[in-house]
C-alpha cells in the first residue's frame, strides 16, 4: 500500500527519524530570528499553566513599523507556553509590544528585522483584476485546486504519501477540513482536548494543532494554498463538532485564526456544504464570516461552500465564490453567469469527482474532469479537482489523500502551464453571449475550446473588440488530452467581416484534428 | 396602416366620440361610490391652485378598517383638484381621514363600503410559492410578458391598435416606460410641465398622467399587468429625464406612486438597462427602490432591468429578478441557476427580440423566441417577448406598439394554456443537474422539452422524487410550434430502475414525431 511504501520518507523530505522539533518548525514555515517578508515571526512567552489558560488568559501584540500597526492575537500552546505569530507584510524593523491580563505576559516587547522574501516566496494570494488572483508581489496565481477533506486525519505514512503525490501533481490549492469526518478511522488527537463523547470544549489540544500546522507548512513549502474548511456536516453525531454552542464556535474560530492566519498560504472556507449543517442557520455563517474577518489581521481569502443553497456571495465579507455544482462547469456560459452576478472571482471547487464512485457525483471520466476545467477557464473562473477511486484499504484521494489513480492530473498540469503562459491580467470571456466559447485578452490573446465536439476546422473569426484590420495572429492547436501544442503554419491576418466580427483576410480556416478535447491558442504575432 | 383602420374603435371598446370623462374614468378602472375590493376608491378634494401646489401642498389620508390602517399619499391633479386613491385590500366599510398642511384639505373624512370583487378581478399579483406568482385571491398568475417601451407616446390611433393587438394576444404583462425615448416623434404632453428644453421640473403635467392612466386602466381591463419602467437611458439628451436632480427624482417617484399605485395591475421596474444610465449610480437605484417601497402602501412588485451588470437581486427590496440576457434562455440550467442564486421568482424580461433587426439582438426567428419561453418554463422561470419588425412607417412593436407581424404570439398562447392547465403551485425544475430537462411537480406532473432536437423517441425515465412502483402516467406529445396535443396510447407504469430513476415497467419508450420543438406532458393517471 502506498502509505507503507512511502513511510520511509518523512515529511517534506526529512527522514522520520530526523523529524525533531526544529525540523518540524522548519516544516511549519517558521523561522526565528531571521524572518523574511510574508514569513512568520513568532514570539514565544512563558506564562501560567494553572486554571484554564485557553479561557483565562488574554494575549495580543501590536506589531508596528512607521506608524503602521498590525494587531495579532496570541494563543496558548500548552505546557505554559504562549505564542504570538506575525506575518510581516513589509521588510525592515517591526517592533512589538504585548497586551495581556496576566502581568508576566503584558508589555513584553521586542523587534524583528525582516529580510526580503526568498525568490520562491511571492506572498499571500489575494484577489486581482476583479475576477482573478495574484500573489502579493504581483505574480499571477492560476488556481488549479484539489480536495482531500481528511488527509491530515490519516497516519503519518499516508500523510507523507499525500505530500509526495502533491509533489508530482499540478495542484496549487488543497481544500481540507479541521474537524474529522464521522467515518474517520483515526484515533486522535482532535482539535478539542479529550476523546469522542468526552471532549472538553473549553480546551483545545495543542498537539492536534501542532501536527495540523506541520501539514499547512508542508503545503506552503510546496507552493500549495491551504483552503481550510472550518465547519462541515459530516460529523455523524460522533464528535459533536457540527453542533457546538455559539460561544465555543467563536472561541474555536478565534483560536484557529490566532494559530494559523500567519501562514501566508491559508484561506478560510467557512464550511463545506453549509446548507446541510442541520444545527446551523445561514445567520450563523454570516456570524462566522464576521468573526474570522475581524480576527484575521491579514485578510486572508474567505469563502463558503454549499450543496443546494447558494450562499449570498455578494455579502461584503466573501472574497470569492466557492461553488459546488454538477452542471455549471459543463457550459462556460453557465459558469460565467456566476462571475457576472457576484462580480468577484469564482472557483468551482466541486464539479463532481473523477472516479468510480457508486454514486453519480463521483463517476467522472478523466476526460470529463479535464473538460470541466477547460470550460471553467473559458468562463473566466477557476475549477477544483477531486478523485473518488477507492483502493482495497478504502483510501481515496478526496477523503483520505494518499495516491492518485485517475487520469486527469497530468492534463491539469498541461492546463496550468497554458494558463501561466497566458496574459498577466487573466483570461476573461469574450463576447460570451453569442456561443463563441472564447476567452482571453481582446486583441492580444484568445483561447477557444471545443469540448466533446470534434469539428474538422474552425473559421478564423474573432469578435471585434481590440481588433483592427491587418493585425496578425499565430494559432496553435492544443490537444488538451494528449498534451500537445501544434503551431498552425503561417499567420492569420484580421480583416473586418461585419459589424461584429473580424475574419482572416484570406478567408482561412484553422484545420482541426477531428478529435475531442481540442483547444486553440491564438496570439498576436 | 393598422392605427388608422383601428381608430374607428375607441379605447376599451368605447367609440372615440364617447370617450368623455366618465368613460375615461371607467377605462382607468375608477369607480366612485361603488368600489369593489382591489378596485380604486378615489377621494376628490378642492384646494389651492395658487403658488405651486405640487411642492407647497402636502396631502395624505389614513384609510382604516378594524384597526388596520393604510396610509396613502394624495396628489395634485391640476385646476385646484386634489385626489387620494385607495385600493381596498378587503371588503366592507373603510373610513378615511386626511392630513394636510392646508386647512381646507386637512381632517376631511368619509367612508367607502367596499363590495366583493367581480369574478374577473383576482386582485393584485404577488409572489407565491417562492418562485412563482399568484393573484391576491390565490389564482395562479403565469407570466407571459411582452414589451412596448413607448406605446403610450404614440397617437390615439396607434394606441388603440396596440390595445386591439393585445386583445388577441396571449400577453398578461406589458413592460412600458413613463419617460419618452429620445427618438420619439410624439409632441407632448410629457410627465413634467413644459416642452423639451423648457421643462418646469417643479411641476408635473396632469394631462400626461391622465392619459397614461387611461392606458394603465385599459390594460387592467384586459387582465394585463403594467410593468412600469420608471427610468431608462434612452433620453438622448433630448429631455434630460435621465439626469434629473436627486430631489426631482424623488418628487417624481412619489408623484407616480401616489397616482398609480392604486391600480392593482401596476408593477414597478426601477429602470430599463439601469447600468448604462450614465448619470446614475447603482446607489441611486438602491435609493429609488427604497423610495418606492416606502411610498407604495400595497407593496406592488418591484424589480430592475440591466444590460451588462446584474443588479444584486438579493437586496431585500427586490421582489423578483428582471433579467436581460441573450443566452440564459437558451439553456434551462443557465436560467434555473438564477432562481437558485436569488431564491426569488425570475422573469427573463428580455431574451432578444423576434424580428428582422439589423442588430443581432433583434433577429430571433419565431421558433427561437418560442423555444426560449419553453426553456425558461423548464427552468421554473418566466419569459418576456419583444418584436422588432419595422413597418414602412417605422412602427415596431417593441418600441411603438401597433400590430404584431411575427409568428411567436399564437405559440405563446398555446404555452400559456399549457401552463394554466398545470399544477397550481407552479412548475419547478426536477433533478436539474443531470440533463433531464424536466420540470413539474414530482410524482404528479412533468414537462419535458426537446428544443431543437428531434429524437425519434424518449425513454420513459423519471427521477425518483415522488414516485413509487406501480404509479400510472398518461403521456401527451405537445408540438409547441404546431400547437397540437396528441395523447400517447395506453399508460406508462413506474418501476424502479436504479438508485436514482424510475422507468416504465414494460420498458416502453415514448415515440416522438421526428420534429423539433416537441415537448411531453406527463400526468399521473
At residue A457, does pLDDT exceed 80?
yes
Of the residues B337, B338, B352, the best mutation for testing chain A's interface (the one with the most A CB atoms within 10 Å of its CB) is: B337
* A391-424 confidence digits (pLDDT tens): 998 899 999 999 999 999 999 999 999 999 999 9
Q: Which of A396, A421, A446 is the last residue of a domain?
A: A421
The more confidently predicted of residues B21 and B214 is B214
Rounded to whole angstroms, the Cα distance separating B158 from B162 reads 6
- pLDDT for res B14: 28
Instruction: Determine whether the interchain pair A334/B334 forms a contact, defined as Cβ–Cβ distance below 8 Å.
Output: yes
How far apart are the CA of A358 and the nearest CA of chain B, in angstroms?
10
Instruction: Determine whether the interchain pair B334/A331 forms a contact, defined as Cβ–Cβ distance below 8 Å.
Output: yes
Rounded to whole angstroms, the Cα distance separating B400 from B127 reads 30
Backbone angles phi, psi at B178, to 5 degrees: -85, -45
CB of B316 within 8 Å of any CB in chain A? no
- pLDDT for res B183: 79
Rounded to whole angstroms, the Cα distance separating A489 from B250 reads 63
Nearest partner of A169 among A394, A5, A335, A409, judged by Cα: A409
* CA dihedral of B45, B51, B56, B57, whole degrees rounded to 10: -10
For residue B327, give the nearest of A309, A358, A433 by CB distance: A433
Instruction: Determine whether the interchain pair A310/B341 forms a contact, defined as Cβ–Cβ distance below 8 Å.
Output: yes
DSSP code of residue A64: E
Backbone angles phi, psi at B154, to 5 degrees: -95, 170
Give A11's contacts (C-beta < 8 A, 6+ positions apart): A19, A27, A156, A159, A160, A163, A214, A215, A218
**What's the mean pLDDT in B408-422?**
98
How far are the Cα atoms of A5, A94, A234, A399, A402 from residue A391, in angstroms, in the given order? 15, 50, 21, 12, 10
Instruction: Determine whether the interchain pair A340/B309 forms a contact, defined as Cβ–Cβ distance below 8 Å.
Output: yes
pTM for the model stands at 0.93
The more confidently predicted of residues A33 and A86 is A86
Rounded to whole angstroms, the Cα distance separating B506 from B486 reads 21
Q: Which residues of A touch B328 (CB under 8 A)?
A: 337
Task: Please report whether residue A130 resides in a domain.
Answer: no
At residue A286, does pLDDT exceed 70?
yes
Q: Which residues of B touch A326 (CB under 8 A)?
A: 433-434
CB of B187 within 8 Å of any CB in chain A? no
Residue A508, domain extent = 438-524
Rounded to whole angstroms, the Cα distance separating B491 from B510 reads 11
How far are the Cα atoms of B3, B465, B505, B506 from residue B502, in angstroms, in the given order? 56, 9, 9, 12
The pLDDT confidence band at residue B456, using thresholds 50, 70 and 90, is very high
Residues B354 and B228 in one domain: yes
The pLDDT confidence band at residue B4, using thresholds 50, 70 and 90, is very low
- pLDDT for res A34: 81
Task: Please report whether residue B64 resides in a domain.
Answer: yes
Beta-carbon neighbour count of residue B198 at 10 Å?
Answer: 8
CB of A465 within 8 Å of any CB in chain B? no
By residue count, chain B amounts to 525
CA angle B338, B339, B341 (to 5 degrees): 65
- pLDDT for res B188: 79
Residues A298 and A410 in one domain: yes
Report yes or no: A397 and A385 within 8 Å, Cβ to Cβ.
no
Residues A344 and A486 in one domain: no
CB of A500 within 8 Å of any CB in chain B? yes
β partners of residue B62: B71, B97
- pLDDT for res A33: 61
* B116-140 confidence digits (pLDDT tens): 999 999 999 999 999 999 999 999 9
Instruction: Determine whether the interchain pair A360/B500 forms a contact, defined as Cβ–Cβ distance below 8 Å.
Output: yes
Residues B200 and B289 in one domain: yes
Q: Which residues of A touch B312 (CB under 8 A)?
A: 314
Residues A268 and A304 in one domain: yes
Please tell me which residue of chain B has the smallest CA distance to A360. B500
Sign of the dihedral through C-alpha A13, A19, A24, A26: negative
Residues B449 and B308 in one domain: no
Task: Please report whether residue A82 resides in a domain.
Answer: no
Q: Which of B375, B394, B421 is the last residue of a domain?
A: B421
At residue A453, does pLDDT exceed 50?
yes
- The half-sphere exposure of A213 on its side-chain side, counting CA atoms within 13 A, is 28
- pLDDT for res B186: 72
The pLDDT confidence band at residue A186, using thresholds 50, 70 and 90, is confident
Rounded to whole angstroms, the Cα distance separating B229 from B256 reads 11
Residues A466 and A400 in one domain: no
The pLDDT confidence band at residue B312, using thresholds 50, 70 and 90, is very high
Nearest partner of A39 among A121, A127, A136, judged by Cα: A121
Instruction: Determine whether the interchain pair A327/B500 forms a contact, defined as Cβ–Cβ distance below 8 Å.
Output: no
| CATH at residue B64 | 2.60.40.10
Q: Which of A361, A387, A421 is the last residue of a domain?
A: A421
Sign of the dihedral through C-alpha B118, B119, B125, B127: positive
Nearest partner of A465 among A493, A492, A430, A437, judged by Cα: A430
The pLDDT confidence band at residue A458, using thresholds 50, 70 and 90, is very high
Residues A417 and A496 in one domain: no
DSSP string, A424-493: TT--EESSGGGS--EEEETTTEEEEE-TT---SEEE-EEESTT--TT-EEEEEEEETTTTEEEEPSS-EE
At residue B19, does pLDDT exceed 60?
no
Region of residue A33 (left: phi > 0; alpha: psi -120 to 50; beta: else): left
CB of A518 within 8 Å of any CB in chain B? no
**What's the mean pLDDT in A435-463?**
97
* A260-285 confidence digits (pLDDT tens): 999 999 999 999 999 999 999 999 99
- pLDDT for res B132: 98
- E-strand ranges in B231-374 read 266-269, 302-303, 321-324, 346-350, 354-355
Sign of the dihedral through C-alpha A167, A168, A174, A176: negative
Residues A388 and A502 in one domain: no
How far apart are the CA of A310 and the nearest CA of chain B, in angstroms?
6
By residue count, chain A amounts to 525
* B217-241 confidence digits (pLDDT tens): 999 999 999 999 999 999 999 999 9
Rounded to whole angstroms, the Cα distance separating B389 from B353 reads 9
For residue B334, give the nearest of A333, A358, A360 by CB distance: A333
Beta-carbon neighbour count of residue B4 at 10 Å?
Answer: 12
Give helix B156-167 / helix B206-221 axis angle, nearest 10°: 20
Q: How many domains does chain A have?
A: 2
* B294-311 confidence digits (pLDDT tens): 999 999 999 999 999 999
**What's the mean pLDDT in A316-323?**
98
Q: What is the mean pLDDT of chain B?
A: 93
At residue B496, does pLDDT exceed 80?
yes
Q: What is the mean pLDDT of chain A?
A: 93
Nearest partner of B412 among B364, B444, B454, B458, judged by Cα: B364
Residues B445 and B409 in one domain: no
CB of B310 within 8 Å of any CB in chain A? yes
Beta-carbon neighbour count of residue B453 at 10 Å?
Answer: 11
CB of A338 within 8 Å of any CB in chain B? yes
At residue A22, does pLDDT exceed 60?
no
Q: Say which range, B12-21, B335-344, B377-386, B448-457, has the weakest mean pLDDT.
A: B12-21
| CATH at residue B251 | 3.20.20.80
Instruction: Determine whether the interchain pair B432/A327 forms a contact, defined as Cβ–Cβ distance below 8 Å.
Output: yes
Give A151's contacts (C-beta < 8 A, 6+ positions apart): A158, A159, A162, A174, A176, A215, A400, A401, A402
At residue B2, does pLDDT exceed 60?
no
- Buried b or exposed e, range B49-84, using 16+ CB within 10 angstroms: eeeebbeebebbbebbbeeeebebbbbbbbeeebbb
Helix (H, G, I), strand (E, B) or coil at B31: coil
CB of A360 within 8 Å of any CB in chain B? yes
Task: Please report whether residue A98 resides in a domain.
Answer: no
Q: Say which range, A31-40, A95-104, B258-267, has the weakest mean pLDDT.
A: A31-40
The pLDDT confidence band at residue A125, using thresholds 50, 70 and 90, is very high
- Locate all alpha helices (DSSP H) within A296-407, ordered by sequence: 332-342, 366-378, 397-400
- Buried b or exposed e, range A358-382, using 16+ CB within 10 angstroms: eeebbebebbbbbbbbbbbbbbbbb
At residue B428, does pLDDT exceed 90?
yes
CB of A435 within 8 Å of any CB in chain B? yes
Task: Please report whether residue A115 resides in a domain.
Answer: no
The pLDDT confidence band at residue A7, using thresholds 50, 70 and 90, is very low
Report yes or no: A369 and A385 within 8 Å, Cβ to Cβ.
yes
Residues A222 and A197 in one domain: yes
Task: Please report whether residue B220 resides in a domain.
Answer: yes
In chain A, pLDDT over 90 holds for what percent of residues?
92
Task: Please report whether residue A211 resides in a domain.
Answer: yes
Residues A406 and A462 in one domain: no
| CATH at residue A510 | 2.60.40.3950
* A214-238 confidence digits (pLDDT tens): 999 999 999 999 999 999 999 999 9
Q: Which residues of B touch A309 (CB under 8 A)?
A: 340, 343
Of the residues A327, A342, A350, A381, the best mutation for testing chain B's interface (the one with the most B CB atoms within 10 Å of its CB) is: A327
The interface predicted TM-score of the complex, written ipTM, equals 0.91
Task: Please report whether residue A258 resides in a domain.
Answer: yes
The pLDDT confidence band at residue B180, using thresholds 50, 70 and 90, is very high
- Buried b or exposed e, range B139-178, using 16+ CB within 10 angstroms: ebbbbbbbbbbbbbbbebbbbbbbbbbbeebbbbbbbbbb
Amino acid at each position: 500500500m502506498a502509505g507503507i511504501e512511502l513511510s520511509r520518507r518523512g515529511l517534506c523530505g526529512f527522514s522520520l527519524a530526523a523529524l525533531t522539533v526544529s525540523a518540524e518548525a522548519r516544516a511549519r514555515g517558521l523561522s526565528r530570528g531571521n524572518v523574511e517578508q510574508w514569513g512568520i515571526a513568532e514570539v514565544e512567552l512563558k506564562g501560567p499553566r494553572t486554571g484554564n489558560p485557553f479561557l483565562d488568559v488574554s494575549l495580543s501584540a501590536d506589531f508596528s513599523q512607521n506608524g503602521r500597526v498590525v494587531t495579532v492575537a496570541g494563543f496558548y500552546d500548552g505546557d505554559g507556553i504562549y505564542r504570538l505569530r506575525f506575518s510581516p507584510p513589509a521588510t525592515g524593523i517591526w517592533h512589538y509590544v504585548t497586551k495581556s491580563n496576566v502581568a508576566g505576559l503584558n508589555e513584553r516587547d521586542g523587534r524583528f528585522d525582516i529580510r526580503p522574501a526568498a525568490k520562491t516566496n511571492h506572498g499571500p494570494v489575494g484577489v486581482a483584476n476583479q475576477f482573478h488572483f495574484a500573489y502579493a508581489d504581483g505574480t499571477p496565481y492560476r488556481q488549479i485546486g484539489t480536495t482531500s477533506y481528511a488527509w491530515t486525519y490519516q497516519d503519518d505514512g499516508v500523510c507523507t504519501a499525500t505530500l509526495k503525490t502533491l509533489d508530482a501533481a499540478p495542484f496549487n490549492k488543497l481544500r481540507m477540513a479541521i474537524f474529522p469526518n464521522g467515518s474517520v478511522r483515526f484515533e486522535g488527537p482532535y482539535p478539542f482536548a479529550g476523546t469522542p463523547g468526552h471532549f472538553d470544549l473549553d480546551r483545545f489540544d495543542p498537539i492536534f494543532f501542532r501536527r495540523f500546522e506541520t501539514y499547512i507548512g508542508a503545503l506552503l513549502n510546496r507552493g500549495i494554498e491551504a483552503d481550510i474548511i472550518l465547519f462541515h456536516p459530516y460529523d455523524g453525531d460522533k464528535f459533536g463538532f457540527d453542533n457546538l454552542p455559539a460561544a465555543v464556535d467563536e472561541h474555536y474560530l478565534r483560536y484557529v485564526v490566532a494559530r494559523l492566519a500567519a501562514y501566508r498560504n491559508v484561506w478560510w472556507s467557512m464550511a463545506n456544504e453549509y446548507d446541510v449543517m442541520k444545527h446551523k442557520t445561514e445567520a450563523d455563517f454570516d456570524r462566522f464570516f464576521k468573526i474570522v474577518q475581524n480576527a484575521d489581521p491579514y485578510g486572508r481569502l474567505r469563502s463558503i461552500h454549499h450543496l443546494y443553497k447558494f450562499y449570498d456571495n455578494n455579502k461584503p465579507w466573501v472574497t470569492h465564490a466557492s461553488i459546488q455544482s454538477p452542471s455549471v462547469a459543463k457550459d462556460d456560459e453557465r459558469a460565467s453567469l456566476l462571475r457576472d452576478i457576484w462580480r468577484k472571482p469564482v472557483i468551482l471547487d466541486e464539479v463532481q469527482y473523477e472516479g468510480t464512485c457508486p454514486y453519480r457525483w463521483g463517476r467522472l471520466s478523466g476526460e470529463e474532469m479535464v473538460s470541466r476545467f477547460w470550460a471553467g477557464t473559458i468562463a473566466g473562473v477557476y475549477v477544483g479537482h477531486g478523485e473518488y477511486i477507492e483502493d482495497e484499504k478504502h483510501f481515496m484521494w478526496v477523503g483520505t489523500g494518499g495516491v492518485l489513480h485517475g487520469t486527469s492530473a497530468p492534463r491539469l498540469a498541461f492546463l496550468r502551464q497554458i494558463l501561466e503562459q497566458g496574459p498577466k491580467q487573466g483570461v476573461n470571456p469574450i463576447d460570451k453571449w453569442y456561443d463563441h466559447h472564447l476567452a482571453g485578452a481582446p486583441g492580444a490573446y484568445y483561447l477557444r475550446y471545443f469540448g466533446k465536439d470534434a469539428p474538422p476546422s474552425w473559421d478564423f473569426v474573432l469578435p471585434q473588440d481590440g481588433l483592427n484590420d491587418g493585425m496578425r495572429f499565430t494559432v496553435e492547436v492544443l490537444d488538451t488530452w494528449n498534451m500537445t501544442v501544434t503551431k498552425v503554419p503561417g499567420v492569420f491576418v484580421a480583416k473586418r467581416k461585419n459589424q461584429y466580427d473580424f475574419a482572416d483576410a484570406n478567408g482561412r480556416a484553422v484545420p482541426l484534428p477531428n478529435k475531442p478535447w481540442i483547444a486553440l491558442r491564438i496570439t498576436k504575432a
